[in-house]
Amino acid sequence: MFYVMPNYLTVDSQSQVKPISWKEKFAIAAKGSFDPYEFTVVGIVAGIRQAENSSPAFGQGMEGYAKRYGAAFADQVDGNIMVGGVFPTILKVDPRYFQLGRGSFLHRFGYAINRIFIARTDSGNHMFNVSEFAGNATAIAISNVYYPADDRSFSSSLSDWGTQMGLDAFGNELKEFWPDIHRYLQARHERHLQKQQRKASD
């Protein structure tokens, strides 16, 4: 998406897609975790946390930044593997986002939001999205192992869980509307080229 963001988990809901195996679920989760774009994003997140002096026990300087980078990267991998691999495999759920791509803006916006709550099973049915809720919760529980003891509390974990759920909902919106944005940008680029060609021919 936006020519740089990985988008391995989006498919057209109207297309006839086969269920994916547990190996494919883990492979897609790994691709999303280790895409070159993600290393940059993690670096930015670590920089923001350093500037805010979050997790003060990590310290400052290059050593503090390295610790924050490692923790942020581990957070990302944990979340992707749990939400996209472990729980979908156990529960036989398809971790992909099935893009609606039709209807009014509000209808599609609501659809993207409620995919946080509704999952598609490997057999094509629907169920409550346990993978999203439990997967993120498990990833945050794991993170307590490598974050400083002073940063471990139920309230901070709950806050992190809510933030991650919000980010995943926002990600669904990007997945839903990226094709529309792409078409708009492409049409705008083509109009710009046509304008330049007309100027050149005058």
The answer to whether 148 and 67 have CB atoms below 8 angstroms apart is: no
- DSSP H helices in 16-149: 22-34, 36-52, 61-81, 87-91, 105-114, 130-143
Q: Which percentage of the chain shows pLDDT scores above 90?
A: 48
Confidence category of residue 182, pLDDT binned at 50, 70, 90: confident
Cα separation, 93 vs 84, in Å, equals 9
pLDDT of residue 90: 96
Long-range contacts, stretch 38-42, CB < 8 angstroms, 24+ apart: 38/6, 38/76, 39/73, 42/69, 42/72, 42/73, 42/76
Q: Give the pLDDT mean for 37-60.
A: 88
Q: Give the pLDDT mean for 52-75.
A: 90
Cα separation, 167 vs 162, in Å, equals 9
pLDDT of residue 74: 93
pLDDT of residue 160: 84
Measured CA distances, 80 to 26, 55, 88, 96, 186 (Å): 9, 23, 11, 12, 31
pTM, rounded to two decimals: 0.80
Confidence category of residue 86, pLDDT binned at 50, 70, 90: very high
Which residue, among 96, 94, 188, 79, has the nearest Cα to 138 in the 3D structure?
79
pLDDT of residue 149: 83
Q: Give the pLDDT mean for 59-84.
A: 92
DSSP element (H, E) containing 160 = helix 154-201
What are 123-142's pLDDT values in tens digits? Answer: 989 999 999 999 999 999 99
